[in-house]
Amino acid sequence: MGQDQHFKLYKPAGYLSQFVNNQNRRRNKKLLSELGDFPEGTMSVGRLDENSEGLLFLTTDGKTSNYVQSKNVEKEYYVQVEGKIDEKAINEIQRGVEIKLKKRVYTTLPAKARILETAPKVPPSPRAERDRDKITSWISITIKEGKYRQVRKMTAAVGFPTLRLIRVRIGSEGLENLRPGKHIELESFNV
């Protein structure tokens, strides 16, 4: 068997974080395999939901996948929320908030959170026209866990629904100048 391969990808909104379409209800969904010619056995390291975008690692090495998804590695997100978020909401996110996971209440681990005073330089959103008349804020949230739709649930729990979510960093590896749908091969993950 050959050497494992690793990639970093800017997953655009509208794609599932998977390569194989194994469920009939997903037959019309866009998959990561449409974004490049990846080697057989490539898997995504963690997930971003269909509406989220940003940094996603791809690998042919399952051990690497397990480490990157562990609570040892930070994941940073830029989040555009509806409304003018305040320090009270940021403090709640930092302490941990209660969210629902599979019909039970879960308290998130403490997180790093801050208001971004100016909108980050990110590619235009496919939803920009729909959201242009809303008052919005941008925040940065850094977590070490990754529950199902966690960041979206965290901002909703403090009264500021997520409009756009972009993962910008995993460990010390960032998006840099990657554009949506583009990827580069890495020798290893720098996390």
Residue 114: which of 86, 83, 73 has the closest Cα? Answer: 86
Residue carrying the six token digits 């555009």: 80
Q: Cα–Cα distance between 60 and 2 in angstroms, integer?
A: 10
Q: Tell me the residue ranges of DSSP E strands in the chain.
A: 6-11, 43-45, 53-59, 75-82, 98-101, 104-107, 112-116, 136-143, 162-170, 173-174, 183-186
Which of 37, 49, 86, 133 is flagged as catalytic?
49
DSSP secondary structure, 7-19, as one string: EEEEEPTTB-S-S
Burial class (CB within 10 angstroms; exposed 0-12, middle 13-18, buried 19+) of 159: middle
- The first and second tokens of residue 117, run together, are 């005073």
Q: Which residues, in sequence order, are bridge partners of residue 143?
A: 75
Task: Determine how β-strand 162-170 pairs with β-strand 53-59.
Answer: parallel
Task: Reply yes or no on whether 49 is catalytic.
Answer: yes
Residues identified as active-site: 49
